[in-house]
Each structure stands twice: as C-alpha cells, then as structure tokens.
Structure 1
C-alpha cells in the first residue's frame, strides 16, 4: 500500500503498533467543533429519522480541518493506488487501511495522521455518536474496515446495497481538494435509490429498487455521509466523474474524487454489545436477500418467446421446409442482408467456422441500402435525452441492469421505419431463422428478440450467468452509428497492419490501443467464464465495494474487445469481412463484442457463462444500439435416439 520501501531501523517489523489510549478530550479534538454537543447530536438524529429514500445523513466539517489536510497530503505522497475494473465499478483503490497497525515502523512513520484518523473514526466516542444518530445499535471498534478510493474522470460505481457479512453502517468521508471546491457538474455524487414493496407469486414481500435515483449527494471536502446497511433497501451508486469538456475551466485540480469509505460492523466477541449468534443471523438474512434478488419475477424485460410452429405447419412437409432455402426465402432475405452472406459457399464456410469456434462475427451484415435507411432512423435519436415512448421501456432493477428496451412484435401493423422493420419483420422471420440454422449447423426452435439502447452516462448490464442445462444460441446485431468505441479504430489498424509486412510494423500498429486505455468509454459486451468455486460472500477483506467480475486489462483497453485471433479459414477476396473474437491468453474472456455499426455476432452459450455490457461513459459520442436474440437449440442426438427407440 505504501509507495516507497525504506530501510529497516532495526525494529521488529512483525510487531504491530498498538493503539494508544486517548482521552475523551483528545478524541474530540480530532473532530469538528461542537460535533459531540447534545443539541448537535439531537439535530442529526432527527434529520436522520426523517431522511429518504432510506435513512441516511450528511455531516459537514466532520474532522479537524488541519488533521484532514495532513491525512490528504500523506495519502498523496505515500499511498499506492491500484486501478480496478469490474462489471460494477471502475476505481483506483488503496490497500486495506485496517492493516495500518501491521505496517513496519519505518513505513508507519509516513502515515501518522492517517493512523490518527482511523483510530478516531473507530474510537468508542465516535462509534457511540454514529450509533445514537442512526439507531443502528452497538458498533465494533475491533473490526475496522476502510480503504481510500480515488475516482478519476471516467470512474464509477454502479447500483448495489452493500449487504455483505457483518456490516452495520456504511460511510464515506470525502478528501477532495479543500482549496478547489468540488462542483456538482463534475459528477461523482452518491445517489440513493428508492424501493417499492411487492408481493411475489409465493405471497412473500420483496423490495424492488426503482430504476432511477431520488437523492443526490455531491462530494464536498470533509463531508461524511453514512447510512444503515439494510438488505434489499440501501441501494446506492456513485455517479461517474465526468471528464472536462472543451471550453470548461482547467482549474479543477484534475477532478480527482478522493474519499475514505468503509463500514462499521457489529460488535465482535469480547466487545460491549456482542450478541452470540448475531453474525450467523445476519449471514442467513444476507443469503435470503441474495436468493430474493435472484428472483426475476419483477425484472424487466421478461423474455417473450416467438414460436414458429404456426409457420412450419403451413408447409406440407414441415421438416423438409425447415432446412431448405427456397426462392421465396431468398427474395425476402436479400431485402435486408448483404447478398454475399446468402451464397452457399459463404454459408458453408460460416457453418464450418462455427463448428470449430462456437462463435461468429460478421461485418457489414445488413445490405448497404437497408443499413443506410436504418442508420438514418437511429441517428435521429442517438445521444438524445428522450422519454420512453413508442413501445420502449426501461430495464429494471438497477442492481442488475438499466437500459431502454423494446420487444419484437411480429403482429405490429406499423413497420414504416427501418428500425421497426428490422425488429418486427426481418429478425423474427422464419426465413432468417432458417439462414441462422444453416450458418451455425444447429437445429433451432423458438426465439426471443429484444432491441436495446444503452444511453451514455446511464446504462449497463451487470454480469449474469446462464443456468439452463441446454446450450442456447445468442446473437447480437450491433447497430451503433457513432464512432469512438474502439471497434472502428481497430479495424483501421488491422487494415494498416495488412499493408505492412514486417513484425515491427505490426507492433507499431497495435500500440495506440494501450496509449488510449484511459479513453475507454465502455459499452462493450463480454462473455466470460464463471468461477468454478463459489466465492465467500462474507469475505470483507478482499474488496471494499461489492464484488464484481474482474475485467482483464486488455478488455478495458480502447477497444474493449481484447486481442483477436486470426481467422483459421482463409477468406475469399470477394467475401465480406468475416472475423472472430477471442483471446489466446487465459484471461477468462470467451467472446467480446464492442459497440460498432452493422455487425452480427453469434455465440453458443453454455451453462455458467457470464455475460454483461459495460457501463457506457458520459464521454461516449453516442449510445450503444443493438438487437439481441436468444434461440432455443434442439439436440439432434436426442431426437435420433428417440427415433432409434421407436424403430426398435
């Protein structure tokens, strides 16, 4: 955690530095004036009791100003920060400050004010203050749990409720630049979400967070915010710290949102207020909440399956009709697809490639004529703040996902726009499903189709696993009209590499992706291998914000797509661009899909595979637009076994 190593002064580095007992007056001197006065405590307790959307409070001037300035200087000069990125956050984080006493004396000498601050926050006097204001009950002074988090422009923390283990009160103390007051339009606010109580199909009461926040608390120097951790209720996020726009003042200190965040835990054995069995009860309550959270009864969107039986039953021989393209199918599909993807040679090549890789990415999938119409439709809305109308709705709950969505509707009468025609006519058609079956070599059944719009500075999906025993075919038609997502730049780099034959030229062409890592705007979709071993949900020592799926550094580069393997099948000069995503390094990424224009991705998803779309940064040039499909796969081996059994 400490930046520099120092020579030993001869003191045993393994002997922890003991906390020095402080008098009440000494402890009070480390806090703001009058904080412990009875009328001040009463005011904060009353404000806390009347707060919403759930109980919380904000305390200005919490710590003695000179002490906190000294803490900030020690952190800047001596504490090392590690960049961390998962599906739920992007931050720079210190080590666990609870372990300060375990540092060797030479390192500890660099952080005397930080040690004083930690001991003051977990002192009996301040714990009693927090307990009285919040009504949360006794708090542990033995189990300290805190870290320094730095949010640079682009950093964020998505919606979660902090319910892990024995946490009782969550807090955040801001160490932003005291001489350059934080401006609300820089972002970085703590935002609280209201919840609604609903009754599930089993008659049980569950709380569901609203898709939008109702309380915004901007950062401020020496300001403390805290709330009682409540399963299924204390949902909050940290707004992205926004990058400086052209024309804005550069006198902003770089917009570095530094804060100490952590938790007060229930009393441990031997402490006043310890309750035998309480830790087990909290673990049980946390597990129950996790089970309720997995209940998708109130989630939006819900899958709406399209069954093609009515279409196939119209044919005299449904089975033969199902696998063969006829002239009618070709005439229909050529209105939408690039003609080359309909040729027998290309379809055969795709089928062979899919059999080997279980995935495809097809560039320029839609025809030039139709894609031009579609692009014009989307650009009318891209990047604009709009209400959810014309069949669009907002995905909820926000601790799982948030984006705008629209279901495919084959019965829709209005297909006047190219977008509605794509969603309601082309993709749900039996002809497209026939082509998809031939291109993958799979026998396909019903499908669910959904249009999605990921708005910048708002939308994302957190990692979810696929838990059905049978594999599912999933496709994504990416129709993002704006540039700057990485995919378009990478394609230009690949073309440049092709023009140069030397290895030196190839290395040079790949270099910009690393240089532009901080310009990553998110919006990429990843399929990742899930962990074989269940994580210990009660392990508080690993991370100081809710656990997420770690994103490998190459996935968080400018492209968000990682490195690509070269296609093993040599493509013909006349073919459209056909490429496949992957990474030979064992980084957990199975497939990546950056936002781009007119690319169809197809993946065969197995049980346990995680999938998410990374939060779209405010600095993106537009929104991520796509249409996704989930298609049921019929196991031909099972059908053959049934037929063999019938013959016997």
Structure 2
C-alpha cells in the first residue's frame, strides 16, 4: 500500500496553483550555512558512519542539531503560518499531512514568497553535498537530487503510524527531520517515537529462508527538535512504526506542554534518475521488482499467526430438507442465547433483514445469565497485568500473539484441535464460547436459518486488542462468499455511537437517541457531526484537536476494494481523509461493543480491518470472530446492495433501529 503525501501543496488560502518555474540551486556556501557548523568535518562524518554500521536491529542513524537553528526555527514558523494540513486516516495511520514539498517550485509567487526558508531547507537536504554525506554514512550508493519526495506530517494526540518497511518504488533512504517545539523539549512519555523492529530468519525443510519481523520493537528513538533519523530502505527488513502520540490527562496539562504536536519533515532519497550521476538504465524498474520479490522471499504466509483452522461440516444427506430447531436444540441454545432470538417471529425478521442487506447486527445476543458470567471474567482479566514481551505472554497465559506486525497484532485463542466434550466445568466463559457454543451444530443451524445460507465449514477465533498496542490491517477475501460473525464482548464504554451498555437505562437511551438526529438515524462511527470548511483555521486542525470528540479506534470496518487502484501506489484502505462524513467507501462498520453480534456476508474483494486501539481507550477490545464458509448461493439470493448497505440492529426488545451508511466513492489518497 502507498503511504505517501498528496500531490499538491496548498498555501494558507487553499489555492496553491502550480506553474512551471526553474528549480533554484543553492551555492556551496549556502548549503554549508544551512547546516550546523562543523557537520561536514571528516571526523564527524566518520563518527556517524561508525555508529550507523554498528546500529541494531538494522542499520540506522541519528544526527542531533542537523540544521542551522535559526533557519529551522524560521522553517517551523513558516509552516505554522502558511501551510495547510489535511487530516488523513487509513487502516495503518492517522495523521495531518501537507502536500508533496517537491511541488513548492510550482506555487504562485505570492505563496512561494511566504515559504523561503522551507524552500531553502528542501534544497539543502537534496543538495549534492548532503546527498553524498548521507550516501557515505549509509553505503547506499548515489542518491537522486532531482526526485525530491518529502512532506510535513503533524501528529497530534491519538495520531500514529503502524508497522511497515517503507518499500515502494525507487526509495533508497528514509529520513525524518523533527520540528517539535524548540522551547518545550519533547518527553518520551508523550509517545511519538520512531520504533524499529528486529526480524527473524526462518529456514524450511528445503533450505529456503524467509525473514519476518518480530511483534515487539527493540529500538525506540523519541522525537527531538532538529534531530534527523534515517535508514536505508531494506525490503523485508527495515520495519518500523511511529508510536501513538498520547493524550494528556487534562486540557490544562496539554496547553502547558505546547499541545504535544509532533511535527516533522519526512521523506525519501531515491535512486538516480535519467541524466544524473550514477543513473543506470532500467535500474529503477529492477530495484522495484527485486524489492517486491524480496518481500515475498520464501513463503512468508507460512509464518503468519494465527493460521486458519477451518473445520469442514458434513453436507446434509437431503439438501432440500426443511431445516428447523428441535426442542433439544432450543434447550442447548437457551444456555447461551437470549430467548428473543430463538422465537420464530424474531428469526424471520433477522432473516428478512439479512437477505435484503447482506448484514445484520443483533444487540443482546447472549442470555443475561451467561453474559454476566462473561463480563465478570473479562473485567477480572483486564485488571490482571500482562507481560510486555510477546514470548512471555505466550509462556505465562493462554493467549498467543498475532504476527507479523506489518499485518496485525493482537492476542488470540483458537479452539482446541482435540474433540470438544460437553463438560464445561473446567472452561472459562471465553473458552466455552469458543469451544462449545459457536462451533456447535445447534448454533450453525440457527445461523443457517437466520441467513438462509448453507454452511460447509467454520473457523472461530477469540481476540483481545490491547489498548495502545493492537490492530489488524486491511486484508481482502479472495475466495467464495462467506458469513463472518463478530460477537462483541467489550465491557468498557466510550467506543463510539453504537457502544451503549446493555444495562443503560431508558432515560439514557432516549437522551442518546435525541443526540443521534432525526428519525433515529445515527452518524457513522468515528465521523464528526459537521463537515469541515475551507475557512477553518489550520491551527484548529492541529493544535486544538483536543476539543474534537476523541476517537479511540477499535472499530471493525468492511470496505469496497477498488479494482482500479491495485498497483503498489494504491492505498486501498483509506477510509477517512477529511472530516467529511460522506467521503469514504465504508460498507459496514461496528465499534467495539458489549454483547452485540454482527453477521456480514462478505464477498470476494471486500477489505476488512480493525482500527488500532488508542491508549486513551477505557479498556481493551474483546470479541469472538468467526468465518463460516457457505455453499454457492442460487441466483438472486445474494443482494449486491449497490453501495447502499445498512446496518440493522434488532434490540432484544424486538425494537428495530436502522443506521444508514452513505453511498460514496473511494477517497483519492494520491
């Protein structure tokens, strides 16, 4: 996926019209004066080169006080006064971003005159003198001065960038130059650090080797004013993330700390382009091809965890036989399910809604007695501290850690591969759901009635997404259609408009319904109630973000894939690039919730992810997820929805609430 800036930089008035202009070239004296005095001395270069060579977990460098302090302060002031930032959010990041600074030369004269220091900084960073300096330290070979690739990223509390290796196209060296407040030193406990992940090499029985990153980072580099962090882009090895910038305890504390605004200029040096020293015809294409091959070297999916464990269901001897729930089935299901969902009338409603929308959400699915048992267990688990190290978690608890981190990270449990017995006395409630209720013949029969699908296999997983740590990045489903369930078991609140506790009283419900809008229609999770306007001051986007409602993540999102955006430069999982609630391609979204089950018919090509859970969340996100493979549907059974999928919520009181999701086109991230 592409993780890069937009192709346009806007001035403060939002126009930013581009035009052709000869690119300026700084004199050698201007270049040297742009950096700190003594930086280019031979002994200083040797020091940084030696430190780079000895660094772990992979080679990287840190240079403090890189730029002339007066120049960099001027750059920071110009940015704060004149550069417009766009809030952008995908499965992998949440940031405020400028346009591509390569386009500064194309701005109108009036706009460019307001950014002279920024222009000088860019030209100094891509000057031949400094490119050779970086090349000498990293041993990367020649670097392009023509292909500039940089943007200004602002991380405010709640912003983050998850694990990735930066391998796209012709990138050779990644860098970050921090522009945090020079007069308020950044504190490590505020977050926002660059974190590097070690890799482990696996060798299979044929001798083929595969590298995969550890779920735990091993190097933490906190931000600091005028600090440059950099490393050579190494396919399948240079894995890193940006730690969440954490929220302050109070608004007063945040103001005292300058807003905890992690501003930085980040970008890449590329391999030489045509006409430049070091250019080799076809090298860029070969570099990109080799990078992709190295990322896929060996059989990396083999080392993904959890691995799928589908259990095949025997086909019925009489396919056209009328299915129903017998008395013994109901007796079993009543141990776990609310009686409402076992009545013929309610099942008919569920089926009708599901067939029309291909999705349905059922509130209060578990019986009160069993739900209370689950809640007590989970609340006790949340108070028990977990080890920080993944290996220690797997050694000391029943949880495993999902990996590799550039795909997902969360705690999980799978059903035992041994035959499940009916004895539940030794099981905790999570295990009972995982081993007894959800894989049972009775629940499968209920699900078949509710969806009018015929199940042929199932795969069930218990998941715990720890706050401040866990997520699942976007993946597509390329097989035949399947039913996917998610039973929300998150006892804490504050997750979004749909995260009401089952024991919320009627007065609170009426008050909430009044806030939702007319006709009971609720706004999609995580979306502001009003559209942003061009007149909004940029400082409100960054420095006053604490006044906006907090979005702590943890929502599960289904999105329509874009067949026209399948290249390596496409970012298929962008679901929020602005505060416009109509500007996404979300088909279905459900926040972390308590005792609420979603059932979705997922077609081939539909993306799904669970958004990173912020450290500000009141607790961890818990659920049981299941995938039920279904036999081919007859023509006409499957509704396309035409982009107008809705989520239906059937309360256990049999009251129906419809939550609309807007029909929209995918946002352009490039």
- TM-based fold match above 0.5: yes
Contact persistence 2:456–2:630 (CA under 8 A): yes
Structure-1 residue corresponding to 2:440: 429
Q: How big is each residue's C-alpha offset from its partner over 1:192-225, in whole Å with a ceiling of 9 and x where there is no partner?
A: 0001112357653221000010000000000000
Aligned length: 594
Larger mean CA deviation between 237-246 and 405-414 belongs to 405-414
Query: Is 1:172 aligned to 2:180, yes or no?
Result: no
> CA offset at residue 530 of structure 1?
0.2
For residues 461 and 198 of structure 1, do their structure 2 counterparts lie closer, same or farther at Cα, with a shift above 3 Å needed?
A: same
For residues 586 and 33 of structure 1, do their structure 2 counterparts lie closer, same or farther at Cα, with a shift above 3 Å needed?
A: closer
Q: Aligned equivalents of 1:6 and 1:324: distance in 2? A: 62
Q: Is there any run of 5+ residues in structure 1 with no aligned partner, and where? A: 563-584, 639-648
For residues 290 and 406 of structure 1, do their structure 2 counterparts lie closer, same or farther at Cα, with a shift above 3 Å needed?
A: same
Q: Aligned equivalents of 2:292 and 2:371: distance in 1? A: 48
Query: Is 1:4 aligned to 2:8, yes or no?
Result: no
Pairing of 1:7-406 with structure 2 (within 5 A): 14-23=19-28, 25-200=29-204, 203-246=207-250, 250-292=255-297, 295-309=300-314, 323-382=323-382, 385-387=385-387, 388=393, 389-406=396-413
Contact persistence 1:383–1:622 (CA under 8 A): no
Contact persistence 2:170–2:284 (CA under 8 A): yes
> CA offset at residue 391 of structure 1?
2.6
Larger mean CA deviation between 485-494 and 157-166 belongs to 485-494
Contact persistence 1:383–1:455 (CA under 8 A): no
Contact persistence 1:92–1:150 (CA under 8 A): yes
For residues 509 and 302 of structure 1, do their structure 2 counterparts lie closer, same or farther at Cα, with a shift above 3 Å needed?
A: closer
Structure-2 residue corresponding to 1:551: 575
Query: Is 1:407 aligned to 2:417, yes or no?
Result: no
Q: Aligned equivalents of 1:479 and 1:208: distance in 2? A: 31
Contact persistence 1:393–1:406 (CA under 8 A): yes
Q: Aligned equivalents of 2:208 and 2:517: distance in 1? A: 66
> CA offset at residue 307 of structure 1?
3.4
Q: CA RMSD in A?
A: 3.1
For residues 634 and 14 of structure 1, do their structure 2 counterparts lie closer, same or farther at Cα, with a shift above 3 Å needed?
A: closer
Contact persistence 1:30–1:64 (CA under 8 A): yes
Contact persistence 1:497–1:506 (CA under 8 A): no
Q: Which has the larger radius of gyration?
A: 1
Structure-1 residue corresponding to 2:529: 514
Query: Is 1:484 aligned to 2:499, yes or no?
Result: no
Secondary structure of the corresponding residue to residue 126 of structure 1: helix
Structure-1 residue corresponding to 2:596: 599
For residues 43 and 530 of structure 1, do their structure 2 counterparts lie closer, same or farther at Cα, with a shift above 3 Å needed?
A: same
Choose from 465, 469, 472 the match for 1:458.
Answer: 469
Contact persistence 2:191–2:243 (CA under 8 A): yes
Structure-2 residue corresponding to 1:571: none
For residues 322 and 336 of structure 1, do their structure 2 counterparts lie closer, same or farther at Cα, with a shift above 3 Å needed?
A: farther
For residues 7 and 478 of structure 1, do their structure 2 counterparts lie closer, same or farther at Cα, with a shift above 3 Å needed?
A: closer
Contact persistence 1:193–1:212 (CA under 8 A): yes
Query: Is 1:527 aligned to 2:558, yes or no?
Result: yes
Q: How big is each residue's C-alpha offset from its partner over 1:379-430, in whole Å with a ceiling of 9 and x where there is no partner?
A: 0122754143443100000000000000023537764322221221111111
> CA offset at residue 355 of structure 1?
1.2
For residues 378 and 220 of structure 1, do their structure 2 counterparts lie closer, same or farther at Cα, with a shift above 3 Å needed?
A: same
Q: Aligned equivalents of 1:446 and 1:482: distance in 2? A: 32
Q: Aligned equivalents of 1:205 and 1:159: distance in 2? A: 22
Structure-2 residue corresponding to 1:641: none
For residues 600 and 443 of structure 1, do their structure 2 counterparts lie closer, same or farther at Cα, with a shift above 3 Å needed?
A: same
Q: Aligned equivalents of 1:434 and 1:489: distance in 2? A: 28
Q: Aligned equivalents of 1:512 and 1:58: distance in 2? A: 38
Larger mean CA deviation between 260-269 and 413-422 belongs to 413-422
Larger mean CA deviation between 264-273 and 218-227 belongs to 264-273
Contact persistence 1:452–1:627 (CA under 8 A): yes
Contact persistence 2:72–2:226 (CA under 8 A): yes
Q: Aligned equivalents of 1:621 and 1:139: distance in 2? A: 47
Secondary structure of the corresponding residue to residue 561 of structure 2: coil
> CA offset at residue 331 of structure 1?
0.6
Contact persistence 1:17–1:102 (CA under 8 A): no
> CA offset at residue 291 of structure 1?
4.2
Q: How big is each residue's C-alpha offset from its partner over 1:523-546, in whole Å with a ceiling of 9 and x where there is no partner?
A: 000010001114432x5xx9xxxx
